[in-house]
Chain A
């Protein structure tokens, strides 16, 4: 059992601090919560509604609520009752209605503990049973982990029957107990501390004919929550899974144990059912809670809260809310970034475990405290503590403490920590500003030509954008204008945001983009073609980034994309597959971009100013114009990559629509054009920007780096195949083998020549005269002969055998007149018909 920091330490240090936390901060927040509780009690009260205060927190909740009502001269009615249960008792009590679910909830609590401990937990208060069955409990079956419990209950182990009988006995009693509380009422409201309605879910599943609602301090849903009832799980102060500084009450998510311990009476968990098999134990547990002794030290915060409520009894709702709004930011600050003194003041008592377990769970671990503390290092103590921010306050001081607390609270990360531009502090005041807020304007430019099916999808993509400061510019490039008008008329895009630019004849893709962009003024641009689409938050996230401090150094942002394979059949679009597109791209390097286009146009939002500086898309290019533009962009500015996939890049690469006709992609259907214009593109780019020789060198290096990479990949693949043939003694067909090895040799030689050229260019800074990648081997041999280009021996060439078979060559190698037998083979041996010996890979 762990030990919390010394109480004397707490008392000496911070009576005033405790009073400040309890009275000044918690008091108004609890008062606000009670107002909300009252508000919802009134809302749900139909005259027969039952209100059940769930033990144990319900004991103190009822005490506080009665105090609140007393201040108004009122009382809770007779349909307000204590509900003497715990989650364990509920599992026992609802077992007969839903054995599987009840067993699963119990199993969850003992997931990785031996089932033996689970059984002992169930029967914690029936020592007679445990003693009588201790031998059976030693069976190895109970070594299995607790998650096996539901399955075990279906086995024929001798203990199953008494366990099942006990649980069913509990259930019978529970039914009677529940009826005694709610009578004929079908509307039941549970009142508890928090946080995701597990007990409510158990009751809802066991008694579905009753309408269950829950009123909690807050709602924090974990992945394990019951989605079917989540709407009826009402967080009175907040509903959030994490801390949002704009909503300070959500800071409670950082230390929900504060409210759990505040509201936990000094009495045991109610683990037996009223009227059940161990009713006497149940009654003892109930009485212990009803008669709890509120400890002046351990419950100091609770007592201060009560004092606050008494002093502010009868306050009207407006003042309650006002006081809460004043106090909650300070409470949030204390929970998120406490000092040591504040952390100790917030600390009251450890959290007790339930579900039949007998231990306290440390909220904080004093670093110099005890055996546990000394067994753990700092990081481990921070991880183990229920309140990490408080633990950090015990470990560190000053700015480092705050920074670490911010990180743990999710308010700071490595990027913002090290970014010299920094992130803007949340210092915006809640100004009441009548002026209509306007975000920067985005021009969404959609080129289209007789593709209404796809244009409709694009229209939906635009209409669903959560960011609403945009103009949708539809450029009809030579298609039927009426078709476009009809799609617009049926779209759900605000008509005030639609411009149609209609070209009587097609101007080409890039000219169409330009005419669309130039028809509007905007701050940002995105080319959203008619066959692509965006995630609804694309604009919101990209604009927010570029407008924020982190975006200052960039003029464009590219998000992750998905490549979507589809087919058009008649009027139907059929999706076949979806996969990440270029998701390895994490940065946009100029050299990489020169080698290949790194992103799809649909994923790219950029500042208008750069477009203006470039002068527009290159209208001479029928394809690849976006790539050209991207290169020109990166010559001027940087593009940020946001990996989250927010753009969808569609390709009709299935069926008839893939290659021809209006629905063909330029990338897929226009494949031959891409191939044709790839070299035109590069030459054009080099001519336009080649005066700056480092750039030209980079262009070529990058291009050939890709080319070499691709070719080496092909060589590697082929070598692997050949190796396999050698290893398995598979005799390849002679002609095939000869062709393959000839190509291997050609590529091998090409790689060496190009590498030598690149090295020379780096040193000599000359405009390169690159070897043609498609040059035949004889031409490459001539280059080899004309320069001093080292060529390594190709690994599958058996140098030793070649020299043995050709003693003249060996003599030349030995004398140094030729570097290797392999070079001789390339330059002379091939033509002379000398055998090329082939060796296995070592």
Chain B
């Protein structure tokens, strides 16, 4: 349908649509001059000089490759198995370490303590449980955590545009904060960012739902950030890839928000990767693990 004298048609998803439809994935788009110019312009207008730029971390400030969670966790299981075998002298299979980590994840998300009615997973709890399942004791907990962080650092890279934009915003007097819904605690995320060359001096504050228990998805973490930064809701502009946690919930809290969704092409790659690993697990070990397909 076309515009007529009386009727005009409008959309509101220029940036979102470009990202969603990016045929070769988002990563290339964040290096595309035309796109980044438009994005910068949009952010400039939203930030209006002095608002606080709040960024999601994973798949926003840092870009993941298109491996799926199930693949990553299975590969982390391999590292865990090597460590546990060395420690115990028993042959611990990669798939068992992967499952032990998964059981630790399920336990922490089901049973950890709540704050303000909210619950979040914890990498420390995940590996404490996994260590006990595999070895009977908690001594492998820290090595497992370190192994996972090291593995993750090899699977992610900084988002060049956003790192640069954040620096420019700070240079003109603005503030930059980071928010993540993640089972990694702030300390671990900071460590990971350092490994990528994003030092804690490049942002003003970082909050992880593993520490706060309230999250972006539940909406509670935004109040925590307001209190930390001593700022009102209207002073924040948040950007991120999750519609619920990075757009709907901050808007409900009175923040402005911009959605930077994953490209369909990226999601499809991740789904294929998930399918590949899930099929391998089923065919090799006869097991289906309830890790959600990327969407």
Kindly state the separation between the CA atoms of A40 and B271 in the bound complex, as whole angstroms. 30
Structural contact, A234 and B275, CB atoms closer than 8 A: no
What CA separation (Å) do A665 and B137 show in the bound complex? 69
Cβ-based interface call for A716 (8 A): no
| A500→B10 contact, CB < 8 A | yes
- Give per-residue flags for A325-344: 1 if the beta carbon is below 8 A from chain B beta carbons, else 0: 11000000000000000000
Judging by beta carbons under 8 Å apart, are A500 and B136 in contact?
no
B7 lies within 8 A of A502 (CB): yes
Q: Which of A152-160, A290-298, A426-434, A802-810 sits within the interface? A: A426-434
A416 an interface residue at 8 Å Cβ cutoff? no
B6 at the interface (CB under 8 A from A): yes
Most chain B C-beta atoms within 10 Å of own C-beta, residue among A435, A490, A495: A495
CB pair A317 B267 closer than 8 Å: no
Q: Is A322 an interface residue (CB 8 A)?
A: yes
**B132:A321 contact, CB within 8 angstroms:** no
Q: Mark B75-111, 1 if CB is under 8 A from A, else 0.
A: 0000000000000000011011011100110111011
Q: Most B CB atoms within 10 A — which of A38, A232, A432, A502? A: A432
Query: Given the known A-B contacts A39-B106, A40-B107, are A519 and B1 also in contact in the complex, defined by CB atoms under 8 Å?
Result: yes
Say yes or no: A318 contacts B111, CB within 8 Å.
no
A502/B10 in contact, CB under 8 A? yes
- Tell me how far the C-beta of A149 lies from the nearest C-beta in chain B, rounded to whole angstroms: 36
A433 touches B12 (CB 8 A): no
Point out the residues of chain A lying under 8 angstroms from B259, CB to CB. Answer: 494-495
- Interface contact A43-B125, CB-CB below 8 Å: yes
In A513-556, the 8 Å CB interface with B consists of 515, 518-519
CB distance from B177 to the nearest CB of A (A): 21
- Are A317's CB and B9's CB within 8 A? no
Report if B30 contacts A (CB, 8 A): no
Query: Are B286 and A39 closer than 8 Å at their CB atoms?
Result: no
Give the size range of B's interface with the partner: 35 or more
A687 interface residue, CB < 8 Å from B?
A: no
Any chain A CB within 8 A of the CB of B20? yes
Given A496-B13, A501-B9, A519-B1, is A322 in contact with B111 using a C-beta cutoff of 8 Å? no
Measured between alpha carbons, how far is A218 from B98 in the docked complex, in Å?
Answer: 25
Q: Is B279 an interface residue (CB 8 A)?
A: yes
A582 contacts the other chain (Cβ, under 8 Å)? no
* Cβ–Cβ contact A234 & B110, under 8 A: yes
The reply to whether B251 and A492 form a contact with Cβ atoms under 8 Å apart is yes
**Is A463 in contact with chain B by the CB < 8 A criterion?**
yes
Asked whether A499 lies within 8 Å of B9 as measured between CB atoms, the reply is yes
A495 touching B12 in the complex, CB below 8 Å, given contacts A436-B271, A519-B1: yes
Q: Quick check: which of A301-309, A503-511, A562-570, A633-641 contacts chain B, the rest being far away?
A: A503-511
Tell me which residues across on chain A come within 8 A of B132, comparing CB atoms: 42, 45
Choose from A231, A321, A498, A519 the contact partner of B13 (Cβ within 8 Å): A498
* A317 near B7: Cβ-Cβ < 8 Å: no
Report how many A-B pairs have Cβ atoms within 8 Å.
136
Chain A neighbourhood of B136, CB < 8 A:
72-74
Output the least CB separation between A239 and chain B (Å): 9
Residue pair B286, A325 in contact (C-beta under 8 Å): yes
Interface centre among A213, A434, A492 (most CB of B within 10 A): A434
Decide yes or no whether A818 CB sits under 8 A from chain B: no
Q: Does B272 sit at the interface, judged by CB under 8 A?
A: yes
Cβ B99 vs Cβ A500 within 8 A: no
Known: A231-B114, A317-B100, A325-B286. A495 touches B107 (CB 8 A): no
User: CB of A319 within 8 A of chain B?
Assistant: yes
By a CB distance below 8 angstroms, the chain A residues around B1 are 515, 518-519
Residues of A within 8 A of B268 (CB): 434-436
Q: Are A500 and B96 in contact (CB under 8 A)?
A: no
Q: Within the complex, which residue of A42, A488, A502 is in contact with B133, where a contact is CB–CB below 8 Å? A: A42
Tell me which of A74, A434, A463 contacts B248 (CB under 8 A): A463
Contact between B95 and A316, CB atoms less than 8 A apart:
yes
A432 near B279 with CB under 8 A, answer yes
Tell me, rounded to whole Å, the shortest Cβ–Cβ distance linking A230 to chain B: 13
Instruction: Pick from B93, B279, B287: contact of A322, CB below 8 A.
Output: B287
With an 8 A cutoff between CB atoms, is B207 at the interface? no
Minimum CB distance partner of B68 in chain A: A434
Closest B residue to A42 by CB, please name it.
B132
Chain B residues in 8 Å Cβ range of A39:
103-104, 106-107, 129, 133
| A44 CB-CB contact with B under 8 Å | yes
What 1/0 flags go to A475-505 for Cβ under 8 Å of B? 0000000000000111110111011111111
The residues of A that contact B252 with a CB separation of less than 8 Å are 492
Q: Which residues of A contact B11 (CB under 8 A)?
A: 498-500
Given contacts A316-B96, A318-B99, contact A496 B20 (CB under 8 A): yes
* Per-residue interface assignment for chain B, residues 274 to 295, with 1 indicating a CB less than 8 Å from any chain A CB and 0 otherwise: 1100110010011111000101
Nearest CB on A from B7, distance (A): 5
Partner of A436, one of B274, B278, B285, B295: B295
- A751–B288 Cα distance when bound, in Å, is 72
Central interface residue in B11, B110, B268, B288, by most chain A CB within 10 Å: B110
Over the window 48-80 of chain A, the binary record of Cβ atoms lying under 8 Å from chain B Cβ atoms (1 yes, 0 no) is: 000000000000000000000000111000000
Q: Which residue of B lies closest to A46 (CB)?
A: B128
A489 to B10, CA, bound (A): 13
Contacts of B282 in A (CB 8 A): 432
Given contacts A495-B13, A498-B11, A317 and B286 within 8 Å (CB-CB) = no
The answer to whether A434 touches B104 (Cβ under 8 A) is no
B16 interface residue, CB < 8 Å from A? Answer: yes
Set of chain B residues within 8 Å of A74, measured between Cβ atoms: 136
- Choose one: A43, A213, A492, A507; the contact of B104 (CB below 8 Å): A43
What CA separation (Å) do A501 and B287 show in the bound complex? Answer: 51
Please pick, from B8, B17, B99, B295, the residue contacting A502 in the complex, using a CB distance under 8 A: B8
B35, CB-defined interface residue at 8 Å: no
Q: Are A507 and B129 in contact (CB under 8 A)?
A: no
In the complex, chain B residues whose CB is within 8 Å of the CB of A489: 12
Residues in chain A near residue B95, CB distance under 8 A: 316, 318
With A43-B107, A507-B6 known as contacts, the answer to whether A490 contacts B279 (CB < 8 A) is no
Contact of B10 among A73, A325, A499, A515 (CB under 8 A): A499
B161 contacts partner chain A, Cβ-Cβ < 8 Å: no
Q: Which residues of B contact A73 (CB under 8 A)?
A: 136
Give per-residue flags for B119-162: 1 if the beta carbon is below 8 A from chain A beta carbons, else 0.
00000010011001100100000000000000000000000000
Report A-chain residues with C-beta under 8 Å of the C-beta of B10.
Answer: 499-502
Assuming the contacts A39-B107, A316-B93, A436-B264, asked whether A492 and B247 have C-beta atoms less than 8 A apart, the reply is yes
Judge whether A318 and B114 touch: CB under 8 Å.
Answer: no
Verify A496–B16 contact, CB threshold 8 A.
Answer: yes
**Bound: A322/B288 CA distance, A:** 7
Contact, CB under 8 Å: A318 / B248: no
CB distance from A408 to the nearest CB of B (A): 29
Interchain CA distance A38-B282 in the complex, whole Å: 24
Contact: B99 with A38, CB < 8 Å? no
CA distance A321 to B111 in the complex (A): 20
Task: Assess whether A325 is in contact with B129, with CB atoms less than 8 Å apart.
Answer: no
CA distance A792 to B164 in the complex (A): 94
Instruction: Indicate if the CB atoms of A318 and B287 lie closer than 8 Å.
Output: yes
B243 within 8 A of A: yes
24 A–B pairs (Cβ distance < 8 Å), ordered by A: A40-B111, A42-B128, A44-B111, A213-B111, A316-B95, A318-B95, A318-B287, A319-B287, A321-B289, A322-B285, A432-B293, A434-B271, A434-B274, A434-B275, A435-B271, A436-B268, A436-B295, A491-B251, A495-B16, A495-B259, A496-B20, A500-B9, A501-B7, A502-B10
Residues of B within 8 A of A (CB): 1, 5-13, 16-17, 20, 92-93, 95-96, 98-100, 103-104, 106-108, 110-111, 114, 125, 128-129, 132-133, 136, 243, 247-248, 251-252, 259, 261, 264, 267-268, 271-272, 274-275, 278-279, 282, 285-289, 293, 295
Closest 7 A-B residue pairs measured CB to CB? Answer: A42-B132, A43-B107, A316-B96, A492-B248, A322-B286, A434-B271, A500-B10
16 new A-B contacts, CB < 8 A, other than A432-B278, A504-B5, are A35-B103, A39-B129, A42-B128, A42-B133, A234-B110, A317-B99, A318-B96, A488-B12, A491-B251, A494-B16, A494-B243, A496-B261, A502-B8, A504-B6, A518-B1, A519-B1
